[in-house]
Structure 1
Amino acid sequence: MRKRERDMKSGSHEEILALDIKALLESQKSSDADETSADAAEETLPEQGSQVDVEVVELSSTGDGLAQLKGSKQVYVVPFSVPGDIVKVKAYRHMQEGYTIADFISIVKPSPLRDDSRINCKYFATCSGCQFQMLDYAEQLRLKRRIVEKAYRNFSELPPELIPTIQDTIGSPLQYGYRTKLTPHFDGPSGWSRGRNPFTSRPPIGYMPKGSRKTIDIEDCPIGTDAVRVGMKKERERMETEFNKYTRGSTILLRESTRRVAKDAPAPEPPYRRMPWWSSQTLIPTTRRA
């Protein structure tokens, strides 16, 4: 890496989260009540594993809610929540950086921003892939713009007067069925690092749940286009008989081909390509007549 690249901040998930929490706490210092609270003796945090009700104050750039107990400065990081939600959480781990990782349990009182009827995936709040489905689409676009604004402020190393104005996020005409690429994967069998113990049955194929590294079985992903959803189904069917060929985990790259062809031309053959040993790829052809 060039020296300039080495000197730039990493922008890791943890760093982004810590910066957002720091900004939240600094914004609260303007309140006299908060100042008094900050000067008080160090508060007693709930025991790890205990359940508490917290109110979500804002969303971080990681998509997690930042929540607090009433009268407390401690920040709880809560997935699948939105500002204004009062949620029941389990305190999972108190971090040395001054915040608590929490597991989402249930909604005690929903935010006016929340409408769960917008959620069109049964794996939402389990799968870690999507986080904003309960929000109005215009609000989702506003949040994405804010994420870019914070990224420039925190990581561009530009003076404030040179940071460009971020324009509104351009929305998609589709909120579901738009994504032309999906990458489901499966974990390796027990002992895979030693090249032994092939699968004895088809492994779970899908995505990782929030807060875990173990893949869960997901048979369909509604944000994908019809073509890649068909491809996902076919790859799962293929793995029913070919699972014993694998001794390691793998990623299945499903990508829709959007090449245009003339109306009277025959449908093109699918340009299948194999990925390196740790992955497999299926290109799903579609007919887009010019």
Structure 2
Amino acid sequence: MVLPEGFVVPPWYMVVPAVVILGGVIALLWAIEPPVTDRTVLAFAPWMMFGATLHVLYKMSAFPPTIEPLFTAPMVYVVTAIIAGLAWIVGVFLHVGGLQPTIPRFVGVAGTAFFTVFTMFALFQSIQTGTFEPFWPVITVVVAGIVTALAWLALSLWFTDVAATTSTTGALVVFAHTLDGVTTAVGYDVLGAGENVPLSLLLLEAGEALPTAEYVGAGWLFVLVKVALALVIVGLFREYVADRPQQGRTVLALVAAVGLGPAVHNVLLFTVM
């Protein structure tokens, strides 16, 4: 089994229109070719987090039953991509019309607004039900920030060209997957959370089988692999970003989303449930 447990396929009458709309959004973006810079990738970070928030709200049963299937995994990624893509298109037209100074600013502000509103709703609901526990989630973010800083410093010292070329986009990739690793490790070792992704579970079980598990837990190996893998991916994309920066940064943004989405999902889920 490769896919994680919990994947739900909504009814066809939801899937088909969503896929068609997503295809239309992608086609329009392909036609207008908006620039993709480091600022663009950063502007989409709140949208990656917004998708995670929607899925947490689904687990909290916050949506009406009629639309609830739209926020299951992996359908929530399609829904988020549609909304973020539409925001990008609107940002392009507002910039061309002289109503916005830059496209990334509009995309980032809109994404931050969506993420903040829905996250506050989840936090407020958890406070009402008495399940609000922010201690360990805050610890995971702080630890992930420190580990990312050390990893990026090492990369900058030994592979300066990689850090300089991939820049902020590369740093976001490393932070996203570091946070995913740290939240998974803390959830597994401290909070007693299960792991639904088979490959991740194999790494956690491998760490648990080591003699060090008694002293530092099983998750450290998972964190190490995630950080190392992120650094390797960033290194492999150096030439691609240098030769074709728009395409290279787009792919790296998708790599970052694969880490940041689950990471923020873990942080928020541990906080509210």
> Max radius of gyration: which structure?
1
Judging by fraction of residues, say which structure has more strand. Answer: 1
